[in-house]
Amino acid sequence: MEINGLPLELWRLILSYLRLPDLGRCSLVCRAWYELILSLDNTRWRQLCLGCIECRHPNWPNQPDVEPWSWREAFKQHYLASKTWTKNSQDFESSNCFYLFRRKKDRRVLCVGPGCEFDNLRSALLSASAYDRIVLLPGVYEEQSEIFLKAPVEIMGKGKLGDVALLVSFDQHCPTMRLCNLIFMPAWFTPVVYKTTSGHVQFDNCNFENSQLQIHAPGTCQVKFCTFNQSSINVHSVAICLLENCEFVGSENASVTVEGCPSLDRNWACKHLSMLAKSRSVLLQTSEAPFCNMTKLESQGHLPIRNTRTCEIVVGEDLGNIFPASQTQGIPKRGCEKESDVIGNPSMMHKEEAVTIDTDSSDSELSISSENEDDDESVYKLPYQAHSLSHMLAKVIHGRLQTNGLTALQNDYELKTLPQELQKDKESQSLASAVQGCLIQKCLFRDGKGGIFVCSQGQARVEGSIFRNLTYAVRCIQNSKIIMLKNDIHHCKTSGIFLRLGAGGLIAENNIHSNCEAGVDIRKGANPLILCNRIHSGLRSGIVVLGNGKGVIRSNQIYGNKEAGIYILYNGNPLVSGNHIFQGLAAGIAVNENGRGQITENVIRENQWGGADIRRGGDPVLRSNLICCGYSDGVVVGERGKGLIEGNTIYGNKGCGVWVMSSSLPHITNNQIGHNSIYGIAVFCHKDDANDYLANQGGNENFNDEGEAANWENDLESEDERLTSRRPISVALVESNNINHNGAAGLYVKSSEALNIIGNAIHANHDCGVAVFQSSQLTRIASNSVSCNSLGGVLVEAECRVELRGNGIYDNSSHGVTSKGDGLITENDILGNQGCGLKLCQSADMKVSKNRIHSFRGYGIEMLDQTKALVQDNLIFQGKSKKTILQQVSSTEGCVLQNNKLLAFKKRSDVAWTLENPPARPHIDGSSRGMSSSGNSQKGSNMTARIAARVEGGCHNNGSIFCTIL
């Protein structure tokens, strides 16, 4: 009959009465009939799918209210999966072909129940032939002893699920079995309701109550649409086992236990299960959202903006008003490695756009010595643009970057997707494609103690599942491997995922949130790949790595956790790269108790405490990170903290850029530190209460797990091996940093220990360039460029010991150098400052030699009060004022002036002054950098008693904002 003969609605009504075989025949008539049958997807096909007693809703149990994209396709998959148990790949002799054909044709249906041929299940099994179907009528069937299954049959309950209950223990000794629509309860003599050691078994739409299911290699199983109520599955060395759309409720221990390395001895079903698992893998499916509850998170406002490496930067205003926003300036890519780095606005220009700052005038908003000076002033100036750090001083840009430059930067800092990560990493590729062991897809684990436990070199793969309200979701130990893809893990009473004792695997694109302890807990040599996850809203840390734990942590979003986003301690040594760590209620990354780690190219922003917090022996490599817009300091190096802090961009934080305690030993080099509200770098002798810090940061966490010996300390790597990645230093070292536009001094020192400050560009800060308020040990300030700061260039308070050597101190708005302390000032260029070039006052005791000094309006050198000084071999240029080039008002006889050259400028026609032999300082070349970076050249110093002191100036009374919060 032609399709056009009746209206489409009428055809659909007629066809809704057809059975499945008749629908199949109709679809084979012609294309028009085929399309007509397909159009029944939401009517007849839906009815057939939901009416099948062998399965449940295609998206049960996780999303039972979400319809599949095709009911017909879902029903087809159910039908094909129900036949898997019969696909025995054993090769039969040709003489058996007719037997096989006859066996299938003569397949019997045996009924068991009141009024049927068989009264009990045991008698029906004794009478059944291979591949017969045994149908159990509603009722409860109990056997007093174990039943051995010797012939492959299908056992199915009739009626609704729950009508047929079995109090039976099965032991399978045949190649294959299928059980469907049954309730399993344990017999009186054992909790094990089913066990197989060689064959394949398939469970469809069954419930397990207070019972166990055991599968031993080379046996296999496929479990679909089943409920495990206080029940569990134990898998021992199985090559492959497939659990799909199952619900696990109220487990007293782990719901699924996977033990032993996957066996090389495989049965006939392994090939079919592998193909089925791959076809249903979440990696091959295009989902509407990468996580199970993405839509829900969006509706609640928890979903972060995709490009999170951005924040608003306000130039020339109060940086206390900086707030993160999606309207962004560009972001520097790699610290100060390229000439295109900009210090004024934390934005970047292309290399060809970089312009060296015009040092004839300081920044317009910071200095008074440029625009309003008359023409005569230029006559007295000495050009110093060509000093070796001039490339670090790029022109301040107040406008936004060009669109193409901004887009390029945003692309550099976007999170990588999982396909991108897999493409660049062969190890992750092999893990993502591995299909062996226990395969768990689209299951629900809830309201119990444990979800999945993998041990003794076992392997498990978990995809698209939900774990909620458990004690823990996944526990992987003893060199086992776990592959977790696109799961939702939340509200666990302890940590979500535990990895111990050499465990590894791949944890990717999971949504891990709202757990009572860490989202992921890595210890005792575990070494997983953690890629592209969202780990957030935890009541403690996002990721914890300790006890010699390792791991690769890349391209994750870690935010909103109550403690550190990533917490590394007790010799934990992960590789942390390319993550977004933001909006945490404590530190972004905390490295404590001899923790280590390679922390590179992360965006760490808007955290309540330090972006990176290092203390108590923590010794990480912190390189090329973007640490910005924090509500406290950018980087905190607390008591006994160490580490290499290199090539980071640290800006827009409401505290200091870098806060260092004097009992620590960091190496701070090649960083861009700008637009922070207080100091650029601050070194304090004040000791904050680290015990309070530990109590809030994870010190009370259960580091000794139940049933595990706390002996990991004996397995730590040697000290020699730990330091092979970089040279040791004996004095805290600040070198080659670009410190600019900070709210107080660029570098503030109030320390009780030695400090080396070498080769930094300290520019346009809103107080002094370098302020030394306390320094009982020697503070060495060498080869720095200190320019355009709102107050003086270098300030040395009384009783401080300093050495100023080879610095260029230019264009500061007050005195170039003011010293009330002791030490040496030699071979510096102190030029163009608005006050005196060098001012010595109170009880200063300095040796001043071989400097070139020039001031526009003040004295070249001024000595006041009880100053003691040896001033010799200096070249002093006359400024614009008519004052004496050198003034001595000191009443002491301890001042010695000898061999100084005073150079006055008399006529306009004279040759302009220049800095020659040597050229403008500082001088930083390969040899001097090698000297500043060489371990052999570092001066050792003995640790002295820490002095508790209160911080003065632009900082809080108790030190950093971090301490104030504590």
* pLDDT score recorded for residue 648: 93
Taking a C-beta distance cutoff of 8 angstroms, is the pair 645, 635 a contact? yes
Give dist(CA 853, CA 361) in Å, integer: 18
pLDDT bin (cut points 50, 70, 90) of residue 905 is: low
Query: Partners of 450 in the beta sheet?
Result: 254, 472
Mean pLDDT of the chain: 79
SS3 428: helix
* pLDDT score recorded for residue 243: 96
Determine the residue type at 787: S
Residue 74 has pLDDT above 90, yes or no: no
pLDDT bin (cut points 50, 70, 90) of residue 134 is: very high
Give dist(CA 269, CA 273) in Å, integer: 6
* pLDDT score recorded for residue 855: 82
Residue 206 has pLDDT above 70, yes or no: yes
Residue 869 has pLDDT above 50, yes or no: yes
Q: Please give the structure tokens belonging to residue 491.
A: 């509200």
Query: Mean pLDDT lowest for which of 72-76, 487-491, 522-526, 796-800?
Result: 72-76
What mean pLDDT is predicted for residues 400-411? 41
Q: What sign results for the dihedral spanned by CA atoms 764, 675, 622, 642? A: positive
Give dist(CA 382, CA 816) in Å, integer: 15
Determine the residue type at 329: Q
For the chain, what's the residue count? 966
* pLDDT score recorded for residue 888: 67
Taking a C-beta distance cutoff of 8 angstroms, is the pair 858, 837 a contact? yes
Taking a C-beta distance cutoff of 8 angstroms, is the pair 242, 426 a contact? no
Share of the chain above pLDDT 90, in %: 49
Residue 731 has pLDDT above 80, yes or no: yes
Query: Mean pLDDT lowest for which of 280-289, 435-444, 453-462?
Result: 280-289
Residue 805 has pLDDT above 70, yes or no: yes
Instruction: For 840, list phi and psi in degrees, rounded to 5.
Output: -110, 130
What mean pLDDT is predicted for residues 295-324? 37
Give dist(CA 566, CA 558) in Å, integer: 8
Query: Partners of 155 in the beta sheet?
Result: 134, 179
Which is nearest to 806 in space by CA: 786, 829, 787, 789? Answer: 829
* pLDDT score recorded for residue 220: 94
pLDDT bin (cut points 50, 70, 90) of residue 284 is: low
pLDDT bin (cut points 50, 70, 90) of residue 884 is: low
What pLDDT, in 10s, does the model give residues 464-482?
999 999 999 999 999 999 9
Residue 334 has pLDDT above 70, yes or no: no
Place of tokens 């079919």: 272
What pLDDT, in 10s, does the model give residues 223-240?
999 999 999 999 999 999
**Highest mean pLDDT (candidates 258-272, 884-898, 922-936):** 258-272
End-to-end CA distance of the chain: 83
Give dist(CA 920, CA 917) in Å, integer: 9
What mean pLDDT is predicted for residues 92-115? 63
What pLDDT, in 10s, does the model give residues 9-26?
788 787 778 877 888 788
Q: Which residue has the higher pLDDT, 88 or 778?
A: 778
Give dist(CA 801, CA 776) in Å, integer: 6
Residue 697 has pLDDT above 60, yes or no: no
Give dist(CA 432, CA 417) in Å, integer: 14
Got the DSSP string for 857-880?
A: SS-SEEE-TT-EEEEES-EEE--S
What mean pLDDT is predicted for residues 382-402? 61
Instruction: For 254, list phi and psi in degrees, rounded to 5.
Output: -75, 140
* pLDDT score recorded for residue 215: 96
What pLDDT, in 10s, does the model give residues 16-54?
788 778 887 887 888 888 888 888 888 877 777 777 777
Residue 769 CB contacts under 8 Å (≥ 6 apart), including other chains: 745, 746, 747, 762, 763, 786, 787, 789, 792, 793, 794, 809, 812
Kindly give the pairing relationship between strand 794-796 and strand 817-819.
Answer: parallel
Q: What sign results for the dihedral spanned by CA atoms 369, 370, 374, 380? A: positive
Residue 307 has pLDDT above 50, yes or no: no
* pLDDT score recorded for residue 353: 34
Share of the chain above pLDDT 70, in %: 75
Query: Partners of 247 in the beta sheet?
Result: 227, 444
Q: What sign results for the dihedral spanned by CA atoms 694, 697, 699, 703? A: negative
Give dist(CA 227, CA 243) in Å, integer: 11
**Cβ-based neighbour number of residue 155 at 10 Å:** 26
What pLDDT, in 10s, does the model give residues 142-170?
998 999 999 999 999 998 888 999 999 99
Query: Mean pLDDT lowest for which of 771-780, 823-832, 949-958?
Result: 949-958
Query: Partners of 348 in the beta sheet?
Result: 341
* pLDDT score recorded for residue 877: 83
Residue 963 has pLDDT above 70, yes or no: no
Element counts in the chain: helices (H) and strands (E): 17, 75
Q: Which residue has the higher pLDDT, 264 or 515?
A: 515
Kindly give the pairing relationship between strand 200-204 and strand 254-259.
Answer: unpaired
What pLDDT, in 10s, does the model give residues 167-205?
999 999 999 999 999 999 999 999 999 999 989 999 999
Place of tokens 């020659």: 916
Residue 96 has pLDDT above 60, yes or no: no
pLDDT bin (cut points 50, 70, 90) of residue 901 is: confident
SS3 692: helix
Give dist(CA 847, CA 849) in Å, integer: 6
Q: Please give the structure tokens belonging to residue 117.
A: 């041929």
Residue 822 has pLDDT above 70, yes or no: yes
* pLDDT score recorded for residue 610: 93
- H-type alpha helices, 19-167: 20-27, 31-38, 46-51, 71-82, 97-105, 121-127
Place of tokens 């396909």: 419
Give dist(CA 511, CA 183) in Å, integer: 33
Give dist(CA 69, CA 845) in Å, integer: 84
pLDDT bin (cut points 50, 70, 90) of residue 885 is: low
Q: Which residue has the higher pLDDT, 745 or 720?
A: 745
Which is nearest to 751 in space by CA: 949, 953, 964, 952? Answer: 949
Which is nearest to 464 in space by CA: 750, 753, 62? Answer: 62
- Rounded-to-10 torsion of CA 644, 650, 656, 661: 0
Residue 331 has pLDDT above 80, yes or no: no
* pLDDT score recorded for residue 224: 92
What mean pLDDT is predicted for residues 869-898? 75
Predicted model pTM: 0.82
Residue 299 has pLDDT above 60, yes or no: no
What pLDDT, in 10s, does the model give residues 670-692?
999 999 999 999 998 755 444 44
- Omega into 191 within 30° of 0, i.e. cis? no
**Cβ-based neighbour number of residue 302 at 10 Å:** 16
Q: Which residue has the higher pLDDT, 114 or 398?
A: 114
Domains and CATH numbers, the chain: 8-87 (1.20.1280), 792-905 (no CATH)
What pLDDT, in 10s, does the model give residues 531-577?
999 999 999 999 999 999 999 999 999 999 999 999 999 999 999 99
Got the DSSP string for 485-551?
A: ES-EEE--SS-SEEE-TT-EEEEES-EEES-SS-SEEE-TT-EEEEES-EEE--SS-SEEE-TT---
Residue 375 CB contacts under 8 Å (≥ 6 apart), including other chains: none
Q: At what angle do helices 31-38 and 20-27 cross, to 10 degrees?
A: 140
Taking a C-beta distance cutoff of 8 angstroms, is the pair 218, 241 a contact? no
* pLDDT score recorded for residue 935: 38
Which is nearest to 61 in space by CA: 489, 439, 447, 446? Answer: 446
| Residue 151 CA: distances (Å) to CA of 148, 179, 270, 511, 631 | 9, 13, 20, 45, 70
**Cβ-based neighbour number of residue 106 at 10 Å:** 10
Which is nearest to 318 in space by CA: 654, 779, 815? Answer: 654
What mean pLDDT is predicted for residues 760-774? 94
